């Protein structure tokens, strides 16, 4: 079983992940109103991914005999200067989440909680992938520019992103 300190930290992370989903839904809506359906799709898929992170944390906290405590979710920004700006904000947000995950790992280690440290390994790997993929999109947007055919090509590529429900969650009822 996890300690009260670890349960609190994991509950805080659940709420941070819910904010992430909320942020990406706001970005999806903004991109859609700008005529960037591909980017809107990318952000919507990202919001769905964040919800899978919530569900994994939720299941873990519950399996450890603790109640999941949901807190208020802050209002995310709803306007961005450009698609490049939205992805710059995305990368900054993902780096912040990486810091939160690293803090959770440190807490698990300080609590001598090897099970939670192992559980968090998936998130550590996921954050490396998140930051890398967003950095690649930023590089593409810098090459394409904020208007014109290059931006349309990047938007089209972003629209091809599928959502794949993780196998461990697909069987949850």
Helix or strand (DSSP H, E) at 145: none
9 is a domain residue: yes
**Which CATH number fits the domain that encloses residue 34?**
1.20.1260.10
Give the mean pLDDT of 9-25: 98
Number of domains forming the structure of the chain: 1
172 is a domain residue: no
Q: What is the largest CA-CA distance in the chain?
A: 55
Which tens digit of pLDDT belongs to each residue from 111-145?
999 999 999 999 999 999 999 999 999 999 999 98
How far apart, in whole angstroms, are the C-alpha atoms of residue 76 and residue 19? 8
- The first and second tokens of residue 39, run together, are 């980017």
For the question of whether the overall pTM of this predicted structure is more than 0.85, the answer is yes
Which tens digit of pLDDT belongs to each residue from 28-83?
999 999 999 999 999 999 999 999 999 999 999 999 999 999 999 999 999 999 99
Residue recorded with tokens 């550590």 = 124
Which tens digit of pLDDT belongs to each residue from 79-116?
999 999 999 999 999 999 999 999 999 999 999 999 99
31 is a domain residue: yes
Separation of CA 134 from chain center: 11
pLDDT exceeds 70 at position 12 = yes
Closest CA to 84 of 143, 128, 19: 143
pLDDT attached to residue 170: 65
Q: What DSSP state is assigned to residue 36?
A: -
Helix (H, G, I), strand (E, B) or coil at 32: helix
């Amino acid at each position: 079983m996890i300690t009260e300190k670890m349960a609190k930290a994991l509950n805080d992370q659940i709420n941070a992940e819910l904010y992430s989903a909320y942020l990406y839904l706001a970005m999806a809506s903004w991109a859609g109103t700008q005529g960037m359906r591909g980017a809107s799709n990318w952000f919507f898929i990202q919001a769905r991914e964040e919800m899978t992170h919530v569900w994994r944390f939720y299941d873990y906290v519950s399996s450890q005999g603790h109640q999941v405590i949901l807190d208020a979710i802050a209002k995310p920004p709803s306007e961005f200067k450009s698609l490049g700006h939205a992805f710059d904000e995305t990368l900054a947000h993902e780096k912040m989440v990486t810091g939160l995950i690293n803090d959770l790992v440190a807490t698990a280690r300080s609590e001598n909680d090897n099970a939670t440290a192992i559980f968090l390994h998936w998130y550590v790997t996921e954050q490396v992938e998140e930051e890398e993929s967003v950095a690649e999109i930023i590089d593409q947007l810098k090459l394409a520019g904020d208007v014109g055919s290059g931006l349309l090509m990047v938007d089209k590529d972003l629209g091809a992103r599928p959502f794949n429900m993780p196998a461990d969650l697909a069987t949850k009822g």
